[in-house]
Amino acid sequence: MTCKATVEAKMDAKDTLIERFKFFYKDLKRIPLPQIGDIYDDNVIFKDPVQEVRNIEQLHAYLSDLCLDVHSGRFEYLDQMVAEHSAYIKWNMHFKHPKLGKQSITVRGISQIQFNERIYYHEDVYDLGQMLYEQVPLLGGVVKGLKKRLAVN
Protein backbone atom coordinates (compact mmCIF):
# COMPACT_ATOMS: atom_id res chain seq x y z
CA MET A 1 0.00 0.00 0.00
CA THR A 2 1.38 3.43 -0.88
CA CYS A 3 1.88 6.17 1.69
CA LYS A 4 -1.00 8.16 0.16
CA ALA A 5 -3.30 5.13 0.29
CA THR A 6 -2.37 4.50 3.94
CA VAL A 7 -3.18 8.10 4.89
CA GLU A 8 -6.49 7.94 3.00
CA ALA A 9 -7.42 4.65 4.72
CA LYS A 10 -6.70 6.19 8.14
CA MET A 11 -8.77 9.26 7.28
CA ASP A 12 -11.68 7.11 6.10
CA ALA A 13 -11.58 5.00 9.27
CA LYS A 14 -11.45 8.12 11.48
CA ASP A 15 -14.30 9.80 9.61
CA THR A 16 -16.36 6.61 9.73
CA LEU A 17 -15.85 6.31 13.50
CA ILE A 18 -16.92 9.94 14.03
CA GLU A 19 -20.06 9.43 11.92
CA ARG A 20 -20.90 6.17 13.76
CA PHE A 21 -20.41 8.01 17.08
CA LYS A 22 -22.80 10.79 16.04
CA PHE A 23 -25.37 8.28 14.77
CA PHE A 24 -25.08 6.26 18.01
CA TYR A 25 -26.32 9.25 20.05
CA LYS A 26 -28.73 10.67 17.49
CA ASP A 27 -31.84 9.41 19.36
CA LEU A 28 -31.41 9.27 23.15
CA LYS A 29 -34.51 7.14 23.63
CA ARG A 30 -33.23 4.49 21.21
CA ILE A 31 -29.45 4.37 21.59
CA PRO A 32 -28.32 1.21 19.72
CA LEU A 33 -26.63 -0.32 22.77
CA PRO A 34 -25.82 -3.65 21.05
CA GLN A 35 -23.38 -1.65 18.87
CA ILE A 36 -21.52 -0.07 21.81
CA GLY A 37 -18.49 -2.34 21.33
CA ASP A 38 -18.14 -1.19 17.73
CA ILE A 39 -17.60 2.38 18.91
CA TYR A 40 -16.06 2.18 22.37
CA ASP A 41 -12.95 0.43 23.66
CA ASP A 42 -13.50 -2.08 26.50
CA ASN A 43 -11.56 0.19 28.88
CA VAL A 44 -13.23 3.44 27.87
CA ILE A 45 -13.26 6.38 30.26
CA PHE A 46 -16.48 8.38 29.99
CA LYS A 47 -17.09 11.63 31.88
CA ASP A 48 -19.91 14.11 31.98
CA PRO A 49 -21.12 16.54 34.68
CA VAL A 50 -23.29 13.78 36.17
CA GLN A 51 -21.22 10.60 35.95
CA GLU A 52 -17.77 9.10 35.39
CA VAL A 53 -17.41 5.50 34.28
CA ARG A 54 -14.28 3.49 33.57
CA ASN A 55 -15.23 0.58 31.29
CA ILE A 56 -17.68 -0.38 28.59
CA GLU A 57 -19.96 -2.35 30.95
CA GLN A 58 -20.44 0.69 33.21
CA LEU A 59 -21.02 2.91 30.18
CA HIS A 60 -23.59 0.44 28.85
CA ALA A 61 -25.43 0.49 32.20
CA TYR A 62 -25.35 4.30 32.37
CA LEU A 63 -26.70 4.71 28.84
CA SER A 64 -29.31 2.00 29.40
CA ASP A 65 -30.64 3.93 32.41
CA LEU A 66 -30.61 7.12 30.36
CA CYS A 67 -32.73 5.49 27.64
CA LEU A 68 -35.28 4.37 30.22
CA ASP A 69 -35.53 7.72 31.99
CA VAL A 70 -35.80 10.16 29.09
CA HIS A 71 -39.11 10.69 27.26
CA SER A 72 -37.38 11.83 24.09
CA GLY A 73 -34.03 13.22 23.13
CA ARG A 74 -31.86 13.97 20.15
CA PHE A 75 -28.59 15.63 19.30
CA GLU A 76 -28.21 18.38 16.78
CA TYR A 77 -24.57 18.45 15.68
CA LEU A 78 -23.32 21.97 15.03
CA ASP A 79 -19.60 21.78 14.33
CA GLN A 80 -16.59 19.51 14.73
CA MET A 81 -12.83 19.56 14.68
CA VAL A 82 -11.22 16.21 13.98
CA ALA A 83 -7.51 15.42 14.31
CA GLU A 84 -5.65 12.14 13.88
CA HIS A 85 -6.67 10.63 17.25
CA SER A 86 -9.08 13.14 18.76
CA ALA A 87 -12.19 15.13 17.98
CA TYR A 88 -14.28 17.93 19.43
CA ILE A 89 -17.93 17.92 18.46
CA LYS A 90 -20.21 20.83 19.35
CA TRP A 91 -23.89 20.03 19.77
CA ASN A 92 -27.32 20.98 21.06
CA MET A 93 -29.10 18.28 23.02
CA HIS A 94 -32.90 18.53 22.87
CA PHE A 95 -34.76 16.34 25.35
CA LYS A 96 -37.81 15.82 27.55
CA HIS A 97 -37.43 14.21 30.95
CA PRO A 98 -40.42 13.38 33.18
CA LYS A 99 -38.68 14.75 36.30
CA LEU A 100 -38.00 18.11 34.61
CA GLY A 101 -41.48 19.00 33.42
CA LYS A 102 -43.30 18.63 30.12
CA GLN A 103 -41.35 21.16 28.07
CA SER A 104 -38.49 20.33 25.77
CA ILE A 105 -35.11 21.43 27.13
CA THR A 106 -32.16 22.42 24.95
CA VAL A 107 -28.63 22.31 26.30
CA ARG A 108 -25.50 23.24 24.33
CA GLY A 109 -22.37 21.21 24.89
CA ILE A 110 -19.26 19.72 23.42
CA SER A 111 -17.88 16.19 23.31
CA GLN A 112 -14.16 15.53 23.39
CA ILE A 113 -13.24 12.08 22.19
CA GLN A 114 -9.91 10.33 21.84
CA PHE A 115 -9.60 7.20 19.76
CA ASN A 116 -7.49 4.70 17.92
CA GLU A 117 -9.66 2.07 16.22
CA ARG A 118 -12.37 2.76 18.86
CA ILE A 119 -13.04 5.53 21.37
CA TYR A 120 -11.06 5.11 24.60
CA TYR A 121 -11.87 8.53 26.14
CA HIS A 122 -15.13 10.49 25.92
CA GLU A 123 -15.91 13.64 27.90
CA ASP A 124 -19.08 15.68 27.54
CA VAL A 125 -19.02 19.26 28.80
CA TYR A 126 -22.25 21.19 29.27
CA ASP A 127 -23.97 23.50 31.74
CA LEU A 128 -25.60 21.25 34.34
CA GLY A 129 -27.36 24.30 35.76
CA GLN A 130 -29.04 24.95 32.44
CA MET A 131 -29.97 21.29 32.18
CA LEU A 132 -31.29 20.74 35.70
CA TYR A 133 -31.31 23.64 38.14
CA GLU A 134 -32.98 26.13 35.82
CA GLN A 135 -35.85 23.66 35.31
CA VAL A 136 -36.80 23.44 39.02
CA PRO A 137 -39.60 25.99 39.64
CA LEU A 138 -38.22 28.07 42.56
CA LEU A 139 -34.56 27.27 42.11
CA GLY A 140 -34.73 27.95 38.38
CA GLY A 141 -35.77 31.55 38.94
CA VAL A 142 -32.92 32.06 41.40
CA VAL A 143 -30.32 30.56 39.03
CA LYS A 144 -31.57 32.60 36.08
CA GLY A 145 -31.59 35.75 38.23
CA LEU A 146 -28.00 35.11 39.33
CA LYS A 147 -26.91 34.65 35.73
CA LYS A 148 -28.49 37.99 34.80
CA ARG A 149 -26.77 39.75 37.70
CA LEU A 150 -23.40 38.30 36.73
CA ALA A 151 -23.74 39.17 33.05
CA VAL A 152 -21.68 42.06 31.78
CA ASN A 153 -23.77 44.57 29.89
Strand ranges across the sheet with 40-47: 52-53, 40-47, 119-126, 105-115, 86-96, 72-82
Do the Cβ atoms of 30 and 10 come closer than 8 Å? no
Q: What is the pLDDT of residues 26-77, one digit of tens each?
A: 999 999 999 999 999 999 999 999 899 999 999 999 999 988 889 899 999 9
Which has more confidence, 135 or 68?
Answer: 68
Q: What is the pLDDT of residues 34-44, one digit of tens each?
A: 999 999 999 99
Do the Cβ atoms of 111 and 88 come closer than 8 Å? yes
Q: What is the mean pLDDT of residues 99-119?
A: 91
Which has more confidence, 153 or 16?
Answer: 16
Helix (H) or strand (E) holding 75: strand 72-82
Q: How far apart are CA 84 and CA 116, in angstroms?
A: 9
